[in-house]
Amino acid sequence: MTPATTPAQLDTALRWRYATKAFDTRSIPADQWKALEQSLQLAPSSYGLQPWKFFIVVDPAKRTLLRSHSWGQSQVTDASHLVVFTRQTSVTEADVQVFFDQMVSERRADPVKLEPYRRMMVDGVVKGMSGERQREWAARQVYIALGQFMTAAAVLGVDTCPLEGIDPAKYDEILGLKGTRHETIVACAAGYRSAEDKYARMAKIRRPLDQVVARV
């Protein structure tokens, strides 16, 4: 496969990216947004179980309400798009079966040969984790998807800002998630930086490579 980008281009995109504090009014073009939605669909997860759902908040009134439960952060209302990342509150054997059946169908595989994998998912996640451990595990998967989304956006020249300074319970209430199988973990604004955002001109502060990468 031909690489979609070069190492130098990737490095440039990641150094350009920052947690954007002020967005302007530009909208992300439809084709680029479609690619970013697909980056969410294609995000990796443990076992491939994808214990999540991503809510794109398109209703301005809802975004205004969400901002009031996000410490007033302007990114919630001003960015082109707002994504709310939710985890699945539980993983059942039925969930595993749906995933397993899709795998068998799309890969035209022998279900008998894949049965050990199905059993591993059931034993490892459904039966092997308490409810609280399942929720913690699902939250970690959500952050994998968040990282992929932000990287994909940077490669496309789209700004993002991850938002943990939110009230997840209020988000669930506003988005109608109470009583469903999903609950808010984190949000992410996406769009284009404002010329007024002073943080865009600040140096990126990171520890030296040899302090964060070790070879053993």
Q: According to the 3-state scheme, what is the secondary structure of 122-157?
A: HHHHHCCCCHHHHHHHHHHHHHHHHHHHHHHHHHCC
Q: What is the average pLDDT score of the chain?
A: 97
Report yes or no on 36 lying in a domain. Answer: yes
pLDDT digits (tens, 9 = 90+) for 122-181: 999 999 999 999 999 999 999 999 999 999 999 999 999 999 999 999 999 999 999 999
- Average pLDDT of 198-205? 96
Strand partners, 86: 53, 184
Report yes or no on 55 lying in a domain. Answer: yes
Which amino acid, one-letter code, is at 126?
V
Residue 61 tokens, joined: 């009134």
How long a stretch of residues is the chain?
A: 216
Tell me what pLDDT residue 3 has: 83
Tell me what pLDDT residue 35 has: 98
CATH of residue 57: 3.40.109.10
SS3 for 167?
coil
Residue 40 tokens, joined: 């969410």
What span, in angstroms and rounded, lies between the C-alpha atoms of 70 and 78?
A: 13
Residue 161 tokens, joined: 């800002």
Residue 191 tokens, joined: 């769009």
What span, in angstroms and rounded, lies between the C-alpha atoms of 14 and 157?
A: 10
Residues 6 or more apart whose Cβ sits within 8 Å of residue 131: 90
Report yes or no on 135 lying in a domain. Answer: no
Tell me what pLDDT residue 4 has: 84
Our count of domains for the chain comes to 1
Report yes or no on 8 lying in a domain. Answer: no
Residue owning tokens 């992300």: 28
Provide the percentage of residues in the chain whose pLDDT is more than 70. 100
Residue 63 tokens, joined: 């975004």
Report yes or no on 85 lying in a domain. Answer: yes
- Average pLDDT of 39-67? 98
Domain span at residue 155? 26-90+145-212
Report yes or no on 10 lying in a domain. Answer: no
What span, in angstroms and rounded, lies between the C-alpha atoms of 152 and 33?
A: 11
Report yes or no on 168 lying in a domain. Answer: yes
Report yes or no on 119 lying in a domain. Answer: no
pLDDT digits (tens, 9 = 90+) for 7-31: 999 999 999 999 999 999 999 999 9
